[in-house]
Structure 1
Amino acid sequence: MRALLIVNPRATTTSERARDILTRALGSAVDLRVAYTQWRGHAAELASGASDAGLDLVVTLGGDGTVNEVVNGLLAKGRSADRAPALAVVPGGSTNVFARALGLPVDWVDGTGAILEALRDGRFRRISLGKANGRYFTFCAGMGLDAAVIRRVEEARHRGNIATPALYLRQTVAQLFSDSDRRHPAMTLQVPGEKDIPGLAMAIVQNTTPWTYLGGRAVSPNPDASFDSGLDLLSLKALSLPLTVRAAGQLLLGKQPSHDGQVVARHDLEKFRLCAQSPQAFQLDGDYLGECDDVKLESAPDALRVAC
């Protein structure tokens, strides 16, 4: 089996020595070469090249952003799961939602061991992905508040802060108080065959559960989301402070926010659209992608083979 290991050298939970150990361990099981990412988007280029070269497997060492790039590279040029290398994910970021959703250990050593066992046993799983305006995502997309919070967190990290649950909570509160439009929601949900739902302030889309983690606590607004079904959606209407605080408290307790007329939830959607009167913050797999006013979302069944 020919494989490529794509390493993000800025991965937060591994050292150079750890990467050498990982390389030797994987190299004992497959014909391995290693490539290090050097710029944003480089992982996608490397993965696309691996697909073009007919490799059997691409392994990532990095966070969810690295995984997202690799998935989009593997499936570029209209490739299907049968025509692209399989994916294996070694946790290396600060949160590693995708790896944990697959049931892999958080520790990179244990994660490597699980991947080696899967390769030895020929154990591969087909999973669905989401697509937003043509770009794949593995576990979540967001428009509005959650994406704006991710933007704030990324800015804080560039200033030297560490991404902790406390940082996310602080930036959520700061975004709520700084957002002058939160009481006048700008988004509309369009689902084929249903009446449009206007007046939405934020939208959380999940391809699986959880949506994210706060430390060791799984947070899932859409607890029924699964790699084996379509996309799940949860939206809030006017972001009044009491509503948002209550919804956040319910999420932290592992509950879905209650449906009181201010919450819109959908399960197992094949496709839908989010439109906005003004550009809104937008994120995929926890990576802030800028602002947009029109996002077409769809489920891509059985899109990817994963060793796990």
Structure 2
Amino acid sequence: MRALLVVNPAATTTSARTREVLTHALASDLKLEVAQTQYRGHARDLAQQATEGGETDLVVALGGDGTVNEVVNGLLANGPDPDSHPRLAVVPGGSTNVFARALGLPNDVVEATGALLDALRDGSERTIGLGLAAGTPGSEDEGVPERWFTFCAGFGFDAGVVGRVEQQRERGKRSTHALYVRQVVRQFLGEANRRRGVLTLERPGGKEGATETVENLALAIICNTAPWSYLGNRPIYPSPDASFDTALDLFALSKLSPSAVARYATQLLTSTPQRGPHGKHALSLHDLTNFTLHSQVPLPFQMDGDHLGLRTSVTFTGVRRALRVIV
């Protein structure tokens, strides 16, 4: 099997020595080509070239969720036909590795490599669904290129936290869970629109093709799987029913007052695969194929933990059976 190993040399939890050992282990079972990323978006370019070349059977992403997202967007640059692009495999090397862990892979790079080799020998794979986000026609963001995401997107508060974390990392801070917690607090204290909802949800659902509208939302999290993230080893479930086998789930809050934030933050931290946050200010929707979020003001937007700037309108599509993954 011909394979391309895309390596992020800046991956948080791997060293040069570890990456060398893992490369040798994979090369023992694969006809392996290795490429290191050199700039933001490089992993996408490498995966797209491998797909269009037609000779690569497998692309292995060694890095965090951002590297995986870039590789997926390269694999699906010409559309979500699982038979037209190489399979994906993941060796987690980031600080959280939500996608890999949601697939049931070990969070340790050595153990994950062993699990990958076992899966390749056994021919074990699954076809999963993905999320697709694009600028809404007729909005200020109409020309924004569409982009795939593997496990989550966020519009508003959580994307603001991601942006703050990225700023800290650019200043040399390590990506730790403590860093995220500090930025959550700072985002809440500095969020000008936290007490009123500026988001509107539009989705098909009414009679005779009418659009259903939910207004005055203050926060929106879109999940393609569960859990949404991890705090250390604790999984967080805003949408416990989200799955790689269905379309998208939406969790939204209509209020971000101190009391509401305290209540729903506690529910998130104690959430389980059976029960997520709930209450009069919480909106939970399951298995959505298509919907749009509009904002009265530009808000931060993130996908798979990657801050993508400010948006005013994003249209989301849940695409079933979009990508083949070795597990």
- The TM tier, using the shorter chain, reads over 0.9
Query: Deviation string for 1:126-185 (max 9, x for gaps)?
Result: 000011112110000000000001111111122222222222121111111111211122
Q: Match for residue 198 of structure 2?
A: 186
2:180 paired residue among 144, 165, 168: 168
Q: Which amino acid letter does the alignment assign opposite residue 161 of structure 2?
A: V
Task: Check whether the contact 2:80–2:322 (CA below 8 A) recurs between aligned residues.
Answer: no
Q: 1:198 aligned to 2:218? A: no
Q: Match for residue 143 of structure 2?
A: none
Q: Which amino acid letter does the alignment assign opposite residue 256 of structure 2?
A: L
Secondary structure of 1:281's partner?
Answer: strand
**In structure 1, how many angstroms separate the alpha carbons of the residues matched to 2:170 and 2:230?**
21
Secondary structure of 2:286's partner?
Answer: strand
Q: Match for residue 100 of structure 1?
A: 101
Q: Which amino acid letter does the alignment assign opposite residue 179 of structure 1?
A: E
Secondary structure of 1:185's partner?
Answer: coil
Deviation of residue 245 (structure 1)?
1.2
**In structure 1, how many angstroms separate the alpha carbons of the residues matched to 2:261 and 2:319?**
31
TM-score with structure 1 length normalisation? 0.98
* Worse-matched range after superposition: 153-162 or 89-98: 153-162
**In structure 2, how many angstroms separate the alpha carbons of the residues matched to 1:270 and 1:77?**
20
Deviation of residue 79 (structure 1)?
5.0
Q: Which amino acid letter does the alignment assign opposite residue 198 of structure 1?
A: E
Task: Check whether the contact 2:7–2:62 (CA below 8 A) recurs between aligned residues.
Answer: yes
Q: Which amino acid letter does the alignment assign opposite residue 191 of structure 1?
A: R
Q: Match for residue 156 of structure 1?
A: 168
Q: Match for residue 115 of structure 2?
A: 114
TM-score with structure 2 length normalisation? 0.92
**In structure 2, how many angstroms separate the alpha carbons of the residues matched to 1:180 and 1:12?**
32
Query: Deviation string for 1:112-135 (max 9, x for gaps)?
Result: 001001110111110000111121
* Worse-matched range after superposition: 222-231 or 77-86: 77-86
Count matched residues: 307
**In structure 2, how many angstroms separate the alpha carbons of the residues matched to 1:75 and 1:265?**
29
2:225 paired residue among 204, 208, 218: 208
Query: Deviation string for 1:201-260 (max 9, x for gaps)?
Result: 110000000110000000110011000011000000121011011101111112522221
Q: 1:135 aligned to 2:147? A: yes
Task: Check whether the contact 2:47–2:71 (CA below 8 A) recurs between aligned residues.
Answer: yes
Q: Match for residue 258 of structure 1?
A: 278
Task: Check whether the contact 2:165–2:180 (CA below 8 A) recurs between aligned residues.
Answer: yes
Secondary structure of 2:193's partner?
Answer: coil
Q: Match for residue 289 of structure 1?
A: 308
Q: 1:306 aligned to 2:318? A: no
Secondary structure of 1:184's partner?
Answer: coil
Aligned-CA RMSD value? 0.9
Structure 2's unaligned 5+ residue stretches are 135-145, 207-211
Q: Match for residue 89 of structure 2?
A: 88
* Worse-matched range after superposition: 39-48 or 154-163: 154-163
Name the % identity. 56
**In structure 2, how many angstroms separate the alpha carbons of the residues matched to 1:87 and 1:63?**
14
Structure 1's unaligned 5+ residue stretches are none
